[in-house]
Amino acid sequence: MIKSYTWSICAALLILVSCGAPAENKSEETPGATADAKNAESIALEEGKYQIDTENSIVNWRGTEITGKFHVGTVSVYKGTIKVVDRRFEAKLAVDMQSIQCTDENMRTGAKENLVGHLKSDDFFGIEAYPYARLVIADGKLDETKAYANGKITVRDVTQPIEFPLSLRMENGMLIGDAQLTFNRADHNVKFRSGAFPDLFPDLGDKLINDEIELDVHIEAMK
């Protein structure tokens, strides 16, 4: 899961209006054109190959039940790289499934430990057999105002295509990336209490766990 792999563009626009200023001194740019220029500037990236800083990168996850109950947590980034060339980018990211944690504020420590143990078991992510999950972006693009990722996500050694928007920016020579994305666990044979496997789990009712797992990914990388 990644902390999948969920990056949207963040840009700020400040418009100064001078009341009573002569018409000939006003900018001829339209507000939309000014916004596009600011956004385009915010995602201007330095070309090159970046190593992901695993200490300052993190994946947050969120899983929900049909009742609306949910759990949240984190999983650590193991390693990764990002390559930027001519307003295109590629990325490889691996997360350490052994590091999965539950950060629910309303759960006791013992309950959190039980949940994490269950998530690591074969019912869910089977971390002994599948210690890493991976995200590979083979075709990332920047247009004038947005960034897009087109790639593949691998969980339990099952690889599926994935697309999502993301935020990319330079900050003090460091490449910062943020994304919010969702993957379907059933597509990766994560079967426990899934409605996609009625032969295994008939009549789940309010015990059903939704297949969509939400990821909020924060990446910091440097040359």
Q: 152-172, pLDDT tens digit by residue?
A: 999 999 999 999 999 999 999
Q: Which amino acid is at 152?
A: K
In angstroms, the CA 160 to CA 164 distance is 13
Binning pLDDT at 50, 70 and 90, where does residue 18 land?
very low
CA 188, 192, 194, 196 torsion-angle sign: positive
Phi then psi for 188, rounded to 5 degrees?
Answer: -115, 20
- Whether 7 shows a pLDDT value over 60: the answer reads no
In angstroms, the CA 100 to CA 66 distance is 23
**Residue length, the chain?**
223
Question: Which of the two residues, 10 and 110, has the higher pLDDT score?
Answer: 110
Domains contained in the chain, CATH given: 29-222 (2.40.128.110)
